[in-house]
Structure 1
Amino acid sequence: MSIPSQIIVNADDIGLKPSVNKAILYCFEQGYINSTSLLTNMDYFNDTVEFIHQNRVIQNIGLHVNFAEGKPVSNFAQTQFLDAEGNWDINKTGKLFTLLNKETKTAFLNEINAQLERALTAKIKIDHIDSHLHLHTLPAFYNLFINVAKYHNLKLRLAQTYREGSYLKFYYRKYINNRIKVLGINHSEYFVTVEEFLKSHTNFSAERKVEIMVHPDFDANGELFDHVDVNSTGDWIAYLTQNDLSQHLVARLPFSTMVKIQEVNNSPN
């Protein structure tokens, strides 16, 4: 069992808490994932740095920029985006339409760079960049992330590349993704959830990279689950362990078609 080179299975949120770190390590060891993204502004950052250095199987590490929770790591003076305790306020940073003046844009740009520098100073090699709760795809922020990715020669996660019922959202995402691709800083050609990959509405080919997002964690009983979408990590592992993904991709057939073929092949003569 192995993940084909054209598939990036990224575990978000390493550094969130110890159980997440342990679950991500387990998934690397089992070959379920081949990439992860690091939060550098959370309380477990120093422990996570040591954890990564002790477990070299953890690789292909990206920066998971966080404007959603925890505290800024720079001298961020734009308190209108923070709560009373100085933590990020997702109700303020996560607004769909926010106009930022030059000073505020500079403050957010400095914060992205400060979160990146924290990883680099800890001797964590960073090769891509994305964000907690996909805030890097918001109109107020995406150009800042493009600038950082270009300057530091990092790959940047696309906005999700499938349609969710809203044509406006879909074409907005296409617009920013095209900008990222034109600049050559795209991490993949497609970015999808496990659910969308399993639906396989797009015929993913062997020539184009697809990124799949998971959020592994261990519950109180030591059971592996996905802390964002409870079934996603399990669904991905089940699919990976039961199928030859390289054959699916080369064939360029929808998943549903491959299931029918597999059923025929497995049926008794």
Structure 2
Amino acid sequence: MKLIVNADDFGYSKGVNLGIVEAHREGIVTSATLMVNMDGFEHAVGLAKKHPTLGVGIHLVLTCGSPVSQDVPTLTDGEGRFRRGQDHLVAAVPEEIERELRAQLGAFMASGLMLTHIDSHHHVHAHPAVLPIVLKLAEEHRVPVRYPWMSESREQRDQSSVPTTEGFSHHFYGDDLTVQSFVRIVEEMSDYSVVEIMTHPAYLDEAILTGSSYTKQRTTELKILTAAELKQYIRDQKIQLVTFSELG
């Protein structure tokens, strides 16, 4: 099995960035996805350039922070920030969605980092109003997209030539975080040749404590993803830790 361990929310804050880099340097995280519209973006870019073995994709955002582009009123609230949740995306203007996603990709490319793949915050890339646009952008950039796990989007994904993994798990999340729970996820997908497990390692800082509902669990994830026991399991099972760049 080839395993991609991706850390979401790279760029959210310095605490998140430092946790992700440690989980890569000292643990099994191979990949991260960058939020270009958050305050920790430039700090994350600097860290990524110092750690070139960390694959970096883009974490497209439509539900957190502020947009990169201008004049996207169907995506924002009265304060110019992205609306919470995904209900508004059904009525959002498709041209505004595409304009914003292109702006985020433009900011990523301007950073000088190599784009390995595309995924999204709160899985908005799998939303029926967003997925066709994301697949078009992925084809243009010739990069993979995280496997959309929402059932209503799978038919669209399966009709696309955009590469993705055979398996994907978002279950390493919440309060049941142990080495054993991570191992169970891996074993449940053992029949696949290439899989991705989504993670959120971080150190806590003011930005996370005030802006996210997922807080202390991030430090628990960091502890598990760097645990000697888990690293030994990966070696014993001869699991290859890879990035999205190896999907071709």
State the partner residue of 1:25.
21
1:66/1:74 Cα in 2 relative to 1: closer, same or farther (>3 Å)? Answer: same
Given residue 204 of structure 1, which amino acid in structure 2 is its aligned partner? S
In the TM superposition, what is the alpha-carbon distance from 1:59 to its structure 2 partner? 2.2
For residue 67 of structure 1, give the secondary structure of its aligned residue in structure 2. Answer: coil
1: CA distance between counterparts of 2:158 and 2:26?
34
In the TM superposition, what is the alpha-carbon distance from 1:11 to its structure 2 partner? 0.4
In the TM superposition, what is the alpha-carbon distance from 1:80 to its structure 2 partner? 3.3
- From 64, 68, 88, give the equivalent of 2:63: 68
Q: Does 1:82 align with 2:68?
A: no
For residue 82 of structure 1, give the secondary structure of its aligned residue in structure 2. Answer: coil
Q: Percent identity?
A: 25
State the partner residue of 1:179.
159
Checking the alignment, whether the CA contact within 8 Å between 2:62 and 2:124 is kept in structure 1 is: yes
Render the CA deviation track for 1:156-190: whole Å, top value 9, x for unaligned. 00123xxxxxxxx5x4254244234xx1422x111
State the partner residue of 2:40.
44
2: CA distance between counterparts of 1:124 and 1:249?
27
TM-score (ref. length: structure 2):
0.78
In the TM superposition, what is the alpha-carbon distance from 1:115 to its structure 2 partner? 0.6
State the partner residue of 1:11.
7
Structure 1 gaps of 5+ residues are 161-168, 221-225, 251-269
Q: CA RMSD in A?
A: 2.7
2: CA distance between counterparts of 1:26 and 1:228?
16
**Which structure ranks higher in relative contact order (CA pairs < 8 Å, sequence separation ≥ 6)?**
2
TM-score (ref. length: structure 1):
0.72
State the partner residue of 1:157.
146
Checking the alignment, whether the CA contact within 8 Å between 1:194 and 1:232 is kept in structure 2 is: no
The total of aligned residue pairs comes to 221
The equivalences for 1:1-269 within 5 A come to: 6-53=2-49, 55-57=50-52, 59-75=54-70, 77-91=71-85, 94-95=86-87, 98-100=90-92, 104-160=93-149, 171-180=151-160, 183-186=161-164, 188-195=165-172, 198-200=183-185, 202-205=188-191, 208-219=193-204, 227=215, 229-230=217-218, 231-238=220-227, 240-244=230-234, 247=237
For residue 28 of structure 2, give the secondary structure of its aligned residue in structure 1. Answer: coil
1:249/1:32 Cα in 2 relative to 1: closer, same or farther (>3 Å)? Answer: closer
2: CA distance between counterparts of 1:14 and 1:204?
28
2: CA distance between counterparts of 1:199 and 1:156?
24
1:125/1:228 Cα in 2 relative to 1: closer, same or farther (>3 Å)? Answer: farther
